[in-house]
Amino acid sequence: MIEKARVVEVKGNLAKVEVRRVSACGENCANCKGGCAPTNIYIEVINSIGAKQGEYVEIEMSTRTFLAAVLITYGLPLIMLFIGIFSGNALVNNMGLKINNDMAGAILGFIFMALSYIFISKLDKKYNKQRKIKFEIKKILF
């Protein structure tokens, strides 16, 4: 994954960069009337090429790391939702409870999905602490 950013601060071989988030309307907010305001996020990156404060750079994250993060963020909650739905239906059918199996499946599905978000949040904090997800400055643009 490659993004354009502006170097805000440099500390040794690390740099803090400002990345502009792109909205769904392609930054043409007047046309979509969504009322969104583009925001910036700040990321600490590896500055192996010696970029200086104020320069615009291209930062990159390995494709493997990016795809793993996407799979965990979006795929795990979806999988847990389906596991919960099927488990809830099976539990009601096997235990002979007098509850609507669809309702039990939906409730258990949402509980499993919520648990997956808690797990993802803890995993994100752990990875941030260990600096496992790394961006690196690849090129100085101007």
pLDDT, tens only, 98-111: 888 889 999 999 99
% of the chain at pLDDT higher than 70? 86
pLDDT of amino acid 85: 94
Q: What is the DSSP letter of 35?
A: -
pLDDT higher than 60, residue 60? yes
- Token reading at 128: 């941030």
Cα–Cα distance between 112 and 2 in angstroms, integer? Answer: 33
Q: What is the torsion angle, in degrees rounded to the nearest 10, for the CA atoms of residue 73, residue 80, residue 64 and residue 46?
A: 40
Cα–Cα distance between 120 and 7 in angstroms, integer? Answer: 29
pLDDT of amino acid 86: 94
Cα–Cα distance between 86 and 1 in angstroms, integer? Answer: 35
pLDDT of amino acid 35: 63
Cβ-count burial 5-44 (b if 16+ within 10 Å, e if not): bbbeebeeeebbbebeeeeeeeeeeeeeeeeeeeeeeebe
Cα–Cα distance between 136 and 139 in angstroms, integer? Answer: 9
pLDDT higher than 80, residue 32? no
Q: Half-sphere exposure of residue 13, counting CA atoms within 13 Å on the CB side?
A: 6
Greater confidence (2 vs 38) lies with: 2
Instruction: Please give the angle made by the CA atoms of 55, 58 and 64, to the nearest 5 degrees.
Output: 150
pLDDT higher than 80, residue 130? no
